[in-house]
């Protein structure tokens, strides 16, 4: 198979591991800089161009799209989709998962456990939004933050109101969320590939911090998931339409609640903590998916 990894750096851990795992399994794997791709949008012959030439036809593309390039990155993935290349995560699923509010709305419809969450655009509504999620302390989040940046704890009613007012004054979209205190600064990252949880880790925030992100100094260890947690992770990835997802769960008094579903989850933390070859699991999924696709095409031809 010919596989392309869309990434901003061939030296990044996740990119390297996916390339290695693909090559070990006998595939040709090219790392393509997403921002160097440009598009030829033509009737019947859509192409992705790179350094003055059209890229060859790939069987599959692995999008590693950072939140700083969501718009351009998903446009490039969409162009590959137009060329009938299998995108490991589709452009629409990536866009969907990038927006925390949109994700939570979709998950709520599927009955998946969530921290109670509110969203408003007018300062008039702040009081009721805070009350509705259970009162202070509340977590206030930028809709498109990542690595814990833009996630703030409003410890008292007054502090929460001032923080929300400040964000609103800057025209930033934020959501207000019930603070799951009993999670004690820990969250569970479930790595889902093709409808299965292939690895899971618990991340613990350092002393005095409630955000467990590894980028914020959190530490990771292997964790055994309950049946409910496993099921929640699988259903969340499915609701978002993601084949590969990093589902972040908090252990609340009422069971697992999902904070967010990441569409380009990093491999370094999870492989380091669990020793599981997550990259190989991803390549295996691509193999099984593309062979099924080929099989169904042949089937159609025979029937036709």
Ligand X SMILES: Nc1ncnc2c1ncn2[C@@H]1O[C@H](COP(=O)(O)OP(=O)(O)OP(=O)(O)O)[C@@H](O)[C@H]1O
Q: How far is the CB of 146 from Mg ion (least distance, A)?
A: 5
Asked if residue 259 binds ligand X (CB under 6 A), the reply is yes
Binding to ligand X (CB under 6 A) within 165-224 occurs at 177-180, 183, 187, 205, 210-213
Most distant pair of Cα atoms in the chain: their distance: 69
State yes or no: residue 115 binds ligand X (CB under 6 A).
yes
Q: Is 53 annotated as a binding residue?
A: no
Q: Around 269, how many Cα atoms within 13 Å sit in the side-chain half-sphere? A: 24
Q: How far is the CB of 220 from ligand X (least distance, A)?
A: 11
Question: In the complex with ligand X, which residue's Cβ is closer, 41 or 222?
Answer: 222
Rounded Cα–Cα distance for residues 304 and 301 (Å):
5
Identity of the residue, 21 or 104, whose beta carbon is nearer to Mg ion in the bound complex: 104
The site partner of 74 among Mg ion, ligand X, none (C-beta below 5 to 8 Å per kind) is none
Residues 131-150 that bind Mg ion (CB under 5 A): 146
Give the whole-angstrom CA distance, residue 103 versus residue 96.
Answer: 6
Measured CA to CA, the distance from residue 147 to residue 144 in angstroms comes to 10
Residues in contact with ligand X, counted by CB under 6 A, come to a total of: 25
Q: Binding partner of residue 12 among ligand X, Mg ion, none, CB under 5 to 8 Å per kind?
A: none
Is residue 97 at the binding interface for ligand X, with CB under 6 A as the rule?
A: no
Angle at 299 between CA 298 and CA 301, to 5 degrees: 65
> How many CA atoms are closer than 13 Å to the CA of 239, on its beta-carbon side?
24
Q: Is 178 annotated as a binding residue?
A: yes
> Residue 45 annotated as binding?
no
Q: Which residues, 205 to 264, sit near Mg ion by CB under 5 A?
A: 248, 260
Site string for ligand X, 133-152 (x = CB under 6 A): ------x-x---xxxxx-x-
Nearest Cα to 4, choosing from 42, 41, 36?
A: 36
Q: Is-contact 175 118, C-beta < 8 A?
A: yes
| Residue owning tokens 């609640």 | 257
Task: Give 288's Cβ-side CA count (13 Å radius).
Answer: 9
Rounded Cα distance, 74 and 65, in Å: 8
**Each residue of 201-223: b (16+ CB within 10 Å) or e?**
bbbebeeeebbbbbebebebeeb
Measured from the CB atom, is 37 or 151 closer to ligand X? Answer: 151
| In the complex, minimum distance from the CB of residue 260 to ligand X, in angstroms, rounded to a whole number | 5
User: Site residues (CB under 6 A) for ligand X?
Assistant: 115, 139, 141, 145-149, 151, 177-180, 183, 187, 205, 210-213, 248, 250, 259-260, 262
Specify binding-site residues: 141, 178-179, 187, 211-213, 248, 260, 262
Known binding-site residue numbers for Mn(2+)? 248, 260, 262
Q: Which residues are annotated as a binding site for ATP?
A: 141, 178-179, 187, 211-213
């Amino acid at each position: 198979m010919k596989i392309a990894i869309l990434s901003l750096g061939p030296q990044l851990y996740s990119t390297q591991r996916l390339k290695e795992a693909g090559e070990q399994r006998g595939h040709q794997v090219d790392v393509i800089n997403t921002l160097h791709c440009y598009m030829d949008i033509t009737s019947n012959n859509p192409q992705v161009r790179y350094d003055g030439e059209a890229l060859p036809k790939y069987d599959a593309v692995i999008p590693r799209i950072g939140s700083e390039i969501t718009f351009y990155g998903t446009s490039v993935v969409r162009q590959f989709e137009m060329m009938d290349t299998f995108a490991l995560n589709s452009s629409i699923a990536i866009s969907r998962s990038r927006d925390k509010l949109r994700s939570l709305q979709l998950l709520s419809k599927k009955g998946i456990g969530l921290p109670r969450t509110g969203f408003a655009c007018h300062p008039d509504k702040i009081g009721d939004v805070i009350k509705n999620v259970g009162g202070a302390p509340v977590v206030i989040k930028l809709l498109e933050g990542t690595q814990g940046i833009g996630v703030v704890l409003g410890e008292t009613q007054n502090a929460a109101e001032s923080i929300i007012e400040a964000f609103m004054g800057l025209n930033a979209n934020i959501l207000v969320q019930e603070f799951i205190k009993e999670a004690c600064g820990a969250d569970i990252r479930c790595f889902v590939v093709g409808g299965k949880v292939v690895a899971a880790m618990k991340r613990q925030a350092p002393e005095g911090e409630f955000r467990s992100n590894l980028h914020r100094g959190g530490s990771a260890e292997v964790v055994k998931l309950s049946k409910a947690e496993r099921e929640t992770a699988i259903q969340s990835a499915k609701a978002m339409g993601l084949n590969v997802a990093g589902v972040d769960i908090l252990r609340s008094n009422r069971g697992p609640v999902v904070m967010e579903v990441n569409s380009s989850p990093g491999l370094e933390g999870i492989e380091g903590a669990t020793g599981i070859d997550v990259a190989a699991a991803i390549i295996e999924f691509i193999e099984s998916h593309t062979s099924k696709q080929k099989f169904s095409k042949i089937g159609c031809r025979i029937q036709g």
